[in-house]
Amino acid sequence: MILQPLALPVIAVAVIVFASLGFALRLMPLGSESRTTPPPRWDLPVRMITATLVVVGITEAAPALGPKLSGVLGAFPVYAAILTVFGHRSGAASATQVLRGLLLGLFGFAGFFLVLALLIERAGLALAFAGAIATTLAIQTASLIVVLRAPKALGAIAP
């Protein structure tokens, strides 16, 4: 792992993560509103089976991949890929909206782990997780308000 020898402070890593997410969000096209059709009955079971098979495959490959890489692959890429593929069934605009939503959700994910890293040794497990959950809820609420009030304020580059 190339970045493993770097020992950056938690706040520096958080700044890099939030800046990267903001940059990625700006690069995402806004996409057009797509008509939503109800998914077929098989949609959710197939998603569940697909996700399970991918996670089992990563778990089986864990001895070769190592614990860190298999842990990273088992989280974001799995659900992002599965949601995007199934979203694309309704068209490219739907897939784009799924990816924009995932990017917005990653701000809360990053906030959760930032607060956890800052508090877990100082405040203990219960308070650290309570603070991390509260932070995530606040970030997600702010993201929802931004999306509902001004979708173009997210600053995406028009396709």
Domain ranges of the chain: 43-89, 103-159
Provide CB contacts within 8 A for 156, sequence distance 6+.
Answer: 25, 26, 27, 28, 29, 30, 100
**18-32, 71-85, 106-120, 144-158: which has the minimum mean pLDDT?**
144-158
* Confidence class for position 156, pLDDT limits 50, 70, 90: very low
* 151 pLDDT above the threshold of 60: no
Residue pair 52/25 in contact (Cβ under 8 Å)? The answer is no
pTM metric for this prediction: 0.69
pLDDT value, residue 3: 55
Tell me which of 26 and 77 has the higher pLDDT: 26
